[in-house]
Amino acid sequence: MTVPDDRWLAGDAYERYMGRWSRPLAGAFLEWLRPPAGAHWLEVGCGTGALTSAIARSSEPASVVACDPSDAFVEHARGRVLDPRVSFVTGGADALPSRDGGFDLVVSALVLNFVPNPHEALAALRQRLRPGGGVAACVWDYAAGMEFLRVFWDEAIALDTRAEALDEGRRFPLCSAPALRALFDAAGLTHVDTGAVEVETRFAGFDDYWEPFLRGTGPAPAFVASLDLPARHELRERLRRRLPAGADGSIPLRARAWSVRGVSA
């Protein structure tokens, strides 16, 4: 099975599938980061604006410049984050906005594993910092702690070994605390620190879990779309058995991300 190119096109589909979990994660990531008030921020790979709005809401920024290479995502975010301290720009890690004197903080949530060369991307992020500024990032723990996707891939692989090539837990070795630390150390950042940031991903019921796999963009929906109807039905029933609902019908799961931060000398 062909590994997808992780195209980021449809803001609404992304929101329904993954973006809704980016929002609680953004808040938890900022709690871990404990940024100072009054900072000038650059956010790289802002997507539909989950971290952008959390910064505006809880971190008392002086300004936030948020960028993403996807026009569709930037438009989605621009239409929803209306804070006058926030501006959006289309551009990826290879074409970042700059600020006279540098940004105080450069952050990136759930992006570094998708860029073609994380070392180059981190060098570009660092280059936009003022001396002594901080850079921080987080990535989902696809291999173990991102439970709703872990369960999906475990069952998908049990059904059809072609799914192995799509499983983000195998595709993204950067998504571990030691790998992130090594990346930040190699960039020459100081005071490098890693952490685990966990949020609840509670699904209202099995349909709320399953439906985004039928219409979202991303590797798991692409795999579901590749199955014929009997195989799709079997996968759905396997997952239903793996995910028993609680007394109120909801399915409580957890999702962990690994976080990392460092300081530019």
Ligand X SMILES: C[S@@+](CC[C@H](N)C(=O)[O-])C[C@H]1O[C@@H](n2cnc3c(N)ncnc32)[C@H](O)[C@@H]1O
Binding site for ligand X (CB under 6 A): 8, 19, 22, 44-47, 50-51, 68-70, 73, 92-93, 109-111, 114-115
DSSP letters of 155-174? HHHHH-GGGGGT-HHHH-TT
Are residues 173 and 260 in contact, defined by beta-carbon separation less than 8 angstroms? no
**Which CB, 8 or 152, lies closer to ligand X?**
8
Which of 168/227 has CB closer to ligand X?
A: 168
Q: How many CB atoms lie within 10 A of CB 72?
A: 17
- Judged by DSSP in three states, 240 sits in helix
Smallest distance from the beta carbon of 25 to ligand X, in angstroms?
7
CB 42 within 8 A of CB 99: yes
Q: How far is the CB of 109 from ligand X (least distance, A)?
A: 4
**What is the C-alpha separation between 87 and 77, in angstroms, rounded?**
10
Minimum gap (Å) between residue 142 Cβ and ligand X: 11
Comparison of 47 and 133: residue with beta carbon closer to ligand X: 47
Q: Tell the smallest beta-carbon distance from residue 29 to ligand X (Å).
A: 9
Taking the complex as a whole, how short is the minimal distance between the CB of residue 245 and ligand X, in angstroms? Answer: 27
Residue 231 CB, nearest approach to ligand X (Å)? 27
Q: Which is nearer to ligand X, 191 or 254 (CB)?
A: 254
* Nearest distance, CB of residue 106 and ligand X, angstroms: 12
1 or 89: CB nearest ligand X? 89
Beta bridge partners of 64: 41, 86
Count CB-CB contacts under 10 A for residue 26.
26
Distance CA 64, CA 37 (A): 12
d(CA 20, CA 40): 26
Q: Which residue is nearest to ligand X (CB)?
A: 47
Task: Tell me whether residue 26 or residue 189 sits nearer to ligand X (CB atom).
Answer: 26
199 is written with which tokens? 């949020």
Q: What is the DSSP string of 3-23?
A: PP------HHHHIIIIIHHHH
What are the φ and ψ backbone dihedral angles of 250, each rounded to 5 degrees?
-85, 160
Which of 53/264 has CB closer to ligand X? 53
